[in-house]
Amino acid sequence: MYPKNFDVKTAQLMLFGMLLMDGSDAAVLHAIAARRAGASWGEMQDTVNLCFLFRGMSAANKGAEIMGNIAHREVTEAATKNGASA
């Protein structure tokens, strides 16, 4: 998962897209890893969009669901962290 010719963010985005194409539940883990490696929401959406071209609406819907869940998780974690430090 760490090819020498790609940075971690790119590799994780690629894995997210590949697993989303297969409908694999592991896609969410690589989406989280991509975000942690610095992937923007735009890069995540572009990955879902490319997947949509070949997999169709089911991939777009699953990708949107994954991204929504990650966004919620990030907001919740940030609020918890900020509340704990106050």
- pLDDT tens string 22-81: 999 999 999 999 999 999 999 999 999 999 999 999 999 999 999 999 999 999 999 988
Which structural domain, as residue segments, surrounds residue 73? 8-85
Q: Global pTM?
A: 0.90
Query: Is 30 within the bounds of a domain?
Result: yes
Helix, strand and coil content of the chain, in percent to the nearest 5, comes to 80, 0, 20
- Contact between 31 and 44 (Cβ < 8 Å): yes
Query: Is 17 within the bounds of a domain?
Result: yes
Domain total for the chain? 1
Query: Is 32 within the bounds of a domain?
Result: yes
Q: Which of 33, 39, 5 is nearest to 19 (CA)?
A: 33
**CATH code of 44's domain:** 1.20.1290
| 84 pLDDT higher than 70 | no
pLDDT of residue 85: 57
Q: Please enumerate in sequence order all residues whose Cβ is within 8 A of that of 85, keeping only pairs 6 or more positions apart, or say none.
A: none
pLDDT of residue 83: 80
Query: Is 74 within the bounds of a domain?
Result: yes
Distance, in Å, from the CA atom of 38 to the CA atom of 22, rounded to the nearest integer, reads 24
Query: Is 1 within the bounds of a domain?
Result: no
